[in-house]
Amino acid sequence: MSGVEIWLAHLDSLSSAQLETLRPILNPEERARGARFHFEADRNHYVACRGLLRKLLSTALDMPASTLVIEYGERGKPAIAIGANKRSLRFNLSHSAGWAMFAFAWDREVGVDLESGSRLEPDENHLSALAERILSNRELAVWHSLPDATARRTAFLRTWTRKEALAKAIGKGVLDQVRSFEVALDAASPEPSNLVRLPSLADEPSTAWLIHDLSAPNGFAAALALEQKN
């Protein structure tokens, strides 16, 4: 693997037989957590996400899927150590409404987010109140300038995925400083990629992040955040 790899999976399309091939490669904690979900669909989605993640990591690292140790940072960001290997594989995943997206990158932080538009309330006043919590003042001004409710709804969903992807890449809680993440000043004329600098948030020498909109199923939005070292 070189560069960045993105994988999209339709979790609901996995058969019972396919799920049963994934279940054994989960560790005991993962199997126990999956069993605690009340609804069968949620249990299956969890097994599919964790199993597919292990399969993809196994291929990238050339290691047995069941032996991989996935650790989590203070804010829940997943990571894996590769022993004496000088290179580090960073990864992230997101799932929504029966779909999952996985992102992998060598030697740089990465975050990915996938969101279904069905999560947004149809009421315009509710969406406006949510926008005031999520968007910066400048983003909010651009958002309010959009011509109609459909455009504002589409722009908000795209903005939300960008901010979530960036927050996940950094390893910060999305609500910590979400209004300071300015990623949607192009809302009136969307660009596929933006370069964002966050001097107040980055702990590493690099403070630049590439935010890139990703292709997603109809009714969804997806975004990638990738650390820029140079």
Residue-wise pLDDT for 196-220, tens only, equals: 887 654 455 557 899 999 999 999 9
Task: Check: pTM over 0.85? Answer yes or no.
Answer: yes
**Contact at 8 Å (CB) between 162 and 115?**
no
Q: What is the pLDDT of residue 74?
A: 66
**Domains, the chain, ranges and CATH?**
4-107 (3.90.470.20), 117-228 (3.90.470)
Q: Is the pLDDT of residue 84 over 70?
A: no
Among the listed residues 139, 162, 143, the one whose alpha carbon sits nearest the alpha carbon of residue 222:
162
Dihedral in degrees, nearest 10, Cα atoms 173, 174, 180, 182: 140
Tokens of 203: 């702990």
Strand partners, 227: 209
- Inter-CA distances, 18 with 26, 57, 189, Å: 14, 18, 42
For residue 202, the model assigns a pLDDT of 46
Residue 192 to residue 200: CA distance in whole angstroms:
25
Residues in CB range of 109: below 8 A, 6 or more apart:
90, 169, 170, 171, 226, 227
Residue that is written with structure tokens 């011509």 in the block: 147
Q: What is the pLDDT of residues 21-46, one digit of tens each?
A: 999 999 999 999 999 999 999 999 99
Q: Indicate the residue type of 34.
A: G
- Of 68 and 83, the structure prediction assigns the larger pLDDT to 68
pLDDT in tens, 104-147: 999 899 999 999 999 888 889 999 999 999 999 999 999 999 99
Closest CA to 111 of 48, 198, 32: 198
